[in-house]
């Protein structure tokens, strides 16, 4: 959610039951402004909170002029001092896939993972147990990256793409209409499109190249991994992800308010197919 309208956004996203305490809100309002100034971001988004055993991580993301460029991620333990996290790489994601369980809350904590590795010694090949240390910071980076790639969403029309390439915030976005708000196809993943080129020409003919340049949620696997609800009659549409429980996206139809926040343990719900 945008740091500009943080308080209103938190109110609208409070239906999931998790939010921020007043002391945290106050510190965020101050510190995010300073982050924006120091790092010269175009927009700063409060991404959410990952619950750890000892303490929680508060995550923010900075967006540059081009909205679809890779976002910089910062974390903080007390909502005041923010540290930049390194960008995620494939290697990191693969390495941390083996770590299970909750986050500790201490960025320097190391998970130990034993692995059997083949070691060549001369002509002999035998397996040896190798203990690999994985830092929690790495795990944090890869989890945030995974969540961003799979479940960070925005409504259709909120960003538009110029012919020169960069994507901008659409200042004339007035919100989705009510009928559009209930459909999964009106929401896009906030990332570079992956499936777009696989569409048939017929489908592409109906798309508006300045608005429909990202993947929509319609074809997400597994089907049904999003729960759409209307709260307060039809005045607020809330999407919750079932794949990463804790991610809440809210949008008030016909207004410009929208945003998403993740408050959860940072674990993927792999049992989803059994639960539907």
Partner 1 sequence: MGDPPPYPEPPSQEPGTRRSSQVSEPSLDQIQYPAGVPEEEMPQMPYGQGPMMSQASVPGWSQWGGLPQQESMPMFPPEAARVGDMEYPSMNLGFPPEFQTLPYLDESRIQGADQTNLILQQLQRDQGNLLQRLESVYQDPRSNLLDQFYQRDPQQLYEGSQPGPYIRDDPALQFTPSELGLPPYGAEVPEPEPRQLAVQNAKAYLLQTSAGCPLSLYEHLVNLLTKILNQRPEDPLSILESLNRTTQWEWFHPKLDTLRDDPEMQPTYEMAEKQKALFVRGGGGAEGEQEMEEEVADTAVPNVMEAAFYFQQAGVGLSSDESFRVFLALKQLVEQQPIHTCRFWGKVLGLSRNYLVAEVEFREGEEEGEEEEVEEMLEGGEAMEAHAEEEGEEDEEKVADVVPKPTWKPPPVIPKEESRSGTNKYLYFVCSEPGRPWTRLPHVTPAQIVQARKIRKFLTGHLDAPVISYPPFPGNEANYLRAQIARISAATQISPLGFYQFGEEEGDEEEEGGAGRDSYEENPDFEGIPVLELVDSMANWVHHTQHILPQGRCTWVNPLQKTEEEEELGEEEEKADEGLEEVEQEVGPPLLTPLSEDAEIMHMSAWTARVSCTLCPQYSVAIVRSNLWPGAYTYATGKKFENIYIGWGHKYSPENFNPALPAPIQQEYPSGPEIMEMSDPTVEEEQALKAAQEQALAAAEEEEEDEEEDEDEDQDD
Q: Which residues bind partner 1 (CB under 8 A)?
A: 11, 14-24, 49, 51, 53, 78, 100-102, 172, 177-179, 227-235, 240, 242, 245, 264-265, 270-271, 274-276
Residue 66 or 230 having the CB closest to partner 1: 230
Residue 120 or 172 having the CB closest to partner 1: 172
- Least Å distance, CB 234 to partner 1, is 4
Start-to-end CA span in the chain (Å): 28
CA 71 – CA 64 distance, rounded (Å): 7
Within 8 A by CB and 6+ apart from 118, the residues are 125, 126, 127, 128
Is 159 in contact with 166 (CB distance < 8 Å)? no
CA 22 – CA 28 distance, rounded (Å): 10
Residue 66 or 184 having the CB closest to partner 1: 184
CA 238 – CA 43 distance, rounded (Å): 23
Residue 169 or 230 having the CB closest to partner 1: 230
- Least Å distance, CB 247 to partner 1, is 12
- Least Å distance, CB 40 to partner 1, is 28
Residue 56 or 137 having the CB closest to partner 1: 56
Within 8 A by CB and 6+ apart from 145, the residues are 88, 92, 93
- Least Å distance, CB 23 to partner 1, is 5
- Least Å distance, CB 53 to partner 1, is 6
Residue count (the chain): 276
């Amino acid at each position: 959610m945008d740091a500009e309208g943080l308080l209103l956004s938190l109110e609208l996203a409070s239906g999931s039951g998790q939010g921020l305490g007043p002391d945290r809100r106050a510190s965020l309002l101050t510190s995010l402004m300073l982050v924006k100034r120091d790092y010269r971001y175009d927009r700063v988004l409060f991404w959410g909170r990952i619950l750890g055993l000892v303490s929680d991580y508060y995550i923010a993301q900075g967006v540059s002029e081009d909205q679809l460029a890779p976002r910089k991620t910062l974390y903080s333990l007390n909502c005041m001092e923010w540290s930049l996290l390194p960008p995620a790489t494939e290697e990191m994601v693969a390495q941390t896939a083996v770590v299970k369980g909750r986050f500790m809350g201490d960025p320097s904590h190391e998970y130990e993972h034993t692995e059997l590795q083949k070691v060549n010694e001369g002509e002999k090949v035998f397996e040896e147990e190798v203990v690999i240390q994985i830092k929690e910071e790495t795990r944090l980076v890869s989890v945030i990256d995974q969540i961003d790639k799979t479940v960070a969403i925005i409504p259709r029309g909120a960003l538009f793409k110029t012919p020169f390439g960069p994507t901008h915030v659409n200042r004339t976005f007035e919100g989705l209409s009510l009928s559009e708000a209930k459909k999964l196809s009106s929401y896009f993943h906030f990332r570079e499109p992956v499936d777009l080129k696989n569409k048939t020409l017929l489908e592409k003919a109906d798309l508006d190249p300045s608005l429909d340049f990202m993947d929509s949620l319609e074809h997400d696997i597994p089907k049904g991994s999003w729960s759409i609800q209307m709260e307060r009659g039809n005045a607020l549409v809330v999407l919750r992800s079932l794949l990463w429980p804790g991610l809440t996206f809210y949008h008030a139809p016909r207004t410009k308010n929208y945003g998403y926040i993740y408050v959860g343990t940072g674990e993927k719900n792999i049992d989803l197919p059994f639960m539907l």
